[in-house]
Amino acid sequence: MSEQVATSSTTTSGAAPLEGAADEPIDLSVDTTEDAVEIRLPADSAFLSVLRTATAGLAARLDFTLDEIEDLRIAVDEACAMLLPYAIETAQLRCRFLLTPDTLSVTVTLPTTRGQLPERDTFSWTVLSALAGEVDTGSNEDREVWIRLRKRRTPFGSG
């Protein structure tokens, strides 16, 4: 049975922020032009449970298996853990979920002090790649570093 999810006609600019610890806003925005969700929250590991929950909910919406959902939850957590130590003091972690019929792409972006990309020859990167399927990273001139995960759903009857 497929889960029905109501969508809102509210645009990103109309999203009401939720209040987090120390009155820091948590912004849950829905982009109505494509099937995408963006979450902004303080760059603090205490808020990662919000991302893990959102990841599980969105993956379930795409009919991922329980194992695939758990892999994605761990992968998003690991991607954030790789970036958080280099966050600038007042940074907001931005996580964008893009949904297609058989793929969930998650991009975690964070303003950092160094702008240096995560090392790809580490155990963490190996775990991330095994859990997510496709993983990439990059940065921009403002020293924002991002990690993008792309997980494809196992076709029905294949596993």
**pLDDT at residue 32, as a whole number:** 47
Mean predicted confidence (pLDDT) in 137-155: 93
pLDDT at 11 over 80: no
Mean predicted confidence (pLDDT) in 13-25: 48
What is residue 51's three-state secondary structure?
helix
Question: Which pLDDT band holds residue 17 (cuts at 50, 70, 90)?
Answer: very low
Mean predicted confidence (pLDDT) in 122-129: 92
Task: Using alpha carbons, list the distances in angstroms from residue 65 to 58, 72, 107, 159.
Answer: 12, 11, 21, 9
Residue with tokens 């155990």: 123
Q: Is pLDDT larger for residue 28 or for residue 41?
A: 41
Domain boundaries defined on the chain: 24-152
pLDDT at 4 over 50: no
pLDDT at 159 over 80: no
Q: Which CATH superfamily is domain 24-152 in?
A: Histidine kinase-like ATPase, C-terminal domain (3.30.565.10)
Mean predicted confidence (pLDDT) in 97-115: 95
Q: Is pLDDT larger for residue 115 or for residue 154?
A: 115
Mean predicted confidence (pLDDT) in 26-30: 58
Question: Which pLDDT band holds residue 30 (cuts at 50, 70, 90)?
Answer: low
Looking at every residue in the chain, the average pLDDT score rounds to 83
**Cα–Cα distance, 149 to 137 (Å, whole number):** 9
**Cα–Cα distance, 18 to 110 (Å, whole number):** 20
Question: Which pLDDT band holds residue 13 (cuts at 50, 70, 90)?
Answer: very low
